[in-house]
Amino acid sequence: QVQLVESGGGLVQAGGSLRLSCAASGRTFSSYAMGWFRQAPGKEREFVAAISWSGSKTYYEDSVKDRFTMSRDNAKNTVYLQMNSLKPEDTAVYYCAAEALGLGTVLPGQYDYWGRGTQVTVSS
């Protein structure tokens, strides 16, 4: 069982930065791949970024590829999403998720555990 708690969301102006954190409980955290997803009002949940269990591979959705960076610290059971050059279209609830296979995937259905989300609002 893995429990995930996101933090770091908030209100920021366009062009600003935020760093999201996702703290995980459970001794097997380091074996899970982790992902960040987001959901804007009236839209489906979409993939943002993922990282393999070791941190050696990362994957990004095209619109965030040059602006967001995902990382993990297995010693702290935490993953991060550094978001720079934020745009109003980045406004959404951001969720972290854990995937038992450890490889990382863009498919939300492949993830086994989810956090409750943190709100990110980018004003123009």
Chain segment 68-78, per-residue pLDDT in tens: 999 999 999 99
Q: Mean of the pLDDT values across residues 44-61?
A: 95
In the predicted structure, residue 86 carries a pLDDT above the cut 80 = yes
CA separation for the pair 110, 59 (Å, rounded) = 15
Mean of the per-residue pLDDT values for the chain?
95
> Is 27 a residue whose pLDDT tops 80?
no
User: SS3 string of the chain?
Assistant: CCCEEEECCEEEECCCCEEEEEEECCCCHHHCEEEEEEECCCCCCEEEEEECCCCCCEEECHHHCCCEEEEEECCCCEEEEEECCCCHHHCEEEEEEEECCCCCCCCHHHCCEECCCEEEEEEC
